[in-house]
Structure 1
Amino acid sequence: MGAVTEPDRSPKQDRSRATRQRLLEAAVACLADRGWTGSTVAVVAEHAGVSRGAAQHHFPTREDLFTASVEYVAEQRSAALRGLFPADPADAAVPDRRAVVAALVDLYTGTLFRAALHLWVAASHEPQLGFRVVELEGRVGRETHRMAVELLGADESAPGVRETIQGFLDMARGLGLANLLTDDGARRERVVAQWTSVLDDVLGRNRRGP
């Protein structure tokens, strides 16, 4: 008797997962580009290259689609934050604070932040989104703060350190909001340099060897 071939169970499931992924990515892109009112299920389906029927198979209502996109945005932003950790944990002992500050600021000036912002605005008018947005943004905010502490090599037991880092993150969010209207890269560079100096003063400088 010949060897039994393992049945291929993946094509249908893989297609379903791929379709769902395209829809979530399209929902985020549409939110960032068009805002809530311009991001209908039909628009998202067209952007994803799938039929409206396929979109509604995965997400029966508009609220279902964008509630799922809230989670997708949170997961993608968390993944981006995790990617900021140095590959070698030993490198964290001497952080390049300017690079860390710039990377954290960049998190608030990209597509994911724009999409998240539109979700915040929509959540203020859409009860179906409100609870999830508040819960997920709270979780992402806590993770952002935790990762900033680790990446900056901060000791939050020292007076004023926690408040300084939170102030920096609030400032970074404000730069993200300003970036929605104008791309003022030169001003952002000056702000990054100034906040690096502030953080160095508060956290204490980690000096490299000669």
Structure 2
Amino acid sequence: MGAVAAPKQDRGRATRRRLLEAAVACLAEYGWAGSTVSVVAERAGVSRGAAQHYFPTREDLFTAAVEYVAEERSSALRALVPAGPGHRHEAVAGIVALYTGPLFRAALHLWVAASAASAASSASASSASDEEQLRPRVTELEARIGREAHRTAVELLGADESVPGVRETVQGLLDMARGLGLATLLTDDRRRRERVVAQWSRILDAVLPEHG
């Protein structure tokens, strides 16, 4: 009985993962309007009913998908980039990569959808729909992802936040990375981005005291 249950659980986890990965890919490629549950299910190779078994609503699916990939990429960053002052260039490049890939595009589409849903709710006297609940969910999700990104950046940079100004310097790096992510939505600016990453690495070496 237990041997039968284990493979079934493994299949369930694999199906859930395919749905999450397909949702992020669709959101980054088609935007919110084009990323229906049916489109995601087809891309994942499962039925719409199977998709709704794991994620009852569209909002459940997409908020879970962005969170899942954010956690995966953060884990990969921590594993691949050595921490400490001697590896700041690699750390800056890795952090920027988090904000210039499909995850950022997917998250941006979620932000726009959440904002639009909120505006529609304010303009309408009708009762709240599932989509109108997207904004608080996305806001909470982004806050958690932002805190994790900040903690990861502090660790990778070897930054001592007890020193005045260091916390703001780290946050400035993350804000800069988001700006580069926005620029990437319209043009391929990899060459300019490489120069910006190199300059930020030099700035951090000059500003952040070594510790530990």
TM interval, shorter chain, is 0.7 to 0.9
Range with bigger deviation, 135-144 or 10-19: 10-19
**Contact preservation (8 Å) 1:73, 1:116:** no
Q: Partner of 1:159: helix, strand, or coil? A: coil
Distance of 2:5 and 2:101 partners within structure 1: 37
**Contact preservation (8 Å) 1:59, 1:65:** yes
Distance of 1:6 and 1:55 partners within structure 2: 25
Q: Partner of 2:51: helix, strand, or coil? A: helix
In the superposition, the TM-score normalised over structure 2's length comes to 0.83
Distance of 1:52 and 1:144 partners within structure 2: 33
Equivalent in the alignment of 2:113: 122
Matched, 1:69 2:65: yes
Matched, 1:95 2:66: no
Partner residue of 2:12 out of 16, 23, 38: 16
Equivalent in the alignment of 2:26: 30
Which sections of structure 1, spanning at least 5 residues, go unmatched? 87-91
The aligned length equals 197
**Against the structure 1 CA distance between its residues 94 and 170, is the aligned structure 2 distance closer, same or farther, given a 3 Å change threshold?**
closer
Displacement of 1:84 in angstroms is 4.7
Distance of 1:142 and 1:6 partners within structure 2: 39
Identity, in percent, stands at 73
Letter in 2 for 1:103: G
Matches within 5 A, 1:118-157: 118-126=109-117, 127-157=132-162
Displacement of 1:93 in angstroms is 4.8
Equivalent in the alignment of 1:196: 201
Q: Partner of 1:83: helix, strand, or coil? A: helix
